[in-house]
Structure 1
Amino acid sequence: MALVSLVIAPAHAQFGGLNLKKITRDASNLDSDGCPKGKKKSIGGALLGGVVGQMAGNAVSKSGVGAWVQIPDVEGQLTKSIACKLDPQEQVQAAEATLTATRSNSETAGEKPDVGSSASWNSNTREGVSGSSTVVGRNNAKGGKGQDCLTVVDVIIVDGEETRATKQMCRSPGSKRYEIVA
């Protein structure tokens, strides 16, 4: 019955609340989660995806929940380009790898992690998803105010597709944890 009414009703009645110009224009820019697009979408697929996405976006915005929710446990540890491709449990695993890679091998206070220090993880929730964090350099000029700064590269593989993100991380004197700096 619903399918019949969908076919019989005019398009403006079926999609009256939707802005079809916005759907086709936005579909060519970025995905709704801010991640760069992979493959180009067909016009039909983009239109259908845009309609469904706009309907879902309208429902989400009315509920007061954002499209991508940053988990407090990973804030300051993951870039958006990495986090938005991972489910919440994988985000925690990736953040833990960053914390491990940026941790000193010594128990002495103020010790610095070695360049080349690395930690890897495999998803507990999805097949074909893994990642690593590696300290690739020091850049104390980036921080200022006595901060100790590192350059860290995150690599994730999701279904055979590799994504890399380089991040600058600093910690203030007396702090044990490095966090991403702008």
Structure 2
Amino acid sequence: MAKVAIITGAPNDQSRLNGLVLYAAKIISEENVSYEIIHVHSLPAEDLITAKFDSEEIKQANRIVEKSDGVIVLTPVYKASYSGILKTYLDLLPQKGLEHKVILPLVLGGSFGHLLAIEYALNPVLSALGASHIVNGVYTVDKQIKRIDHNAFSIQEEAQQRLKAALETFTKILKSEKKR
């Protein structure tokens, strides 16, 4: 069975980005792919900020990525780029930590004005970490996600269709790579 690490750069558990995390987990589960979620905001802040590579929590998160066949990277857009909290964690991955993995970026922004944040901000960092197989990412506008309960979200149909198509492509590639 293929394994996926889901890395979320959401600042907290109430972020609409968590709607995307839950949706991605649901779809890949339906495709018979296992996953583990790394909530970067739950990692020790001091370890992230001071780049404490030997932190047990950081090493455990890195082991999740290392054991995975694919990685879904989720981030909100802040000032036309991915979140700083995500960057602090990506900086703690080994230099080639994403090598030989299928990667899918999922980004949430306030308007389509930052659509290119995937191509011009996030993908270059993922490539620098060894990612050579990055599936076309999906940009979702935050108004397409509604909070319906404390930790439940509703995603507009059009956004769901785009996300599902990307996640199905991602899992199809994962499964074909796993067979090799």
Give the TM-score normalised by structure 2.
Answer: 0.27
Structure with the larger strand share: 2
Give the TM-score normalised by structure 1.
Answer: 0.26
Greater relative CO, 1 or 2 (CA 8 Å, sep 6+): 2
Which structure is larger by alpha-carbon Rg, 1 or 2?
1
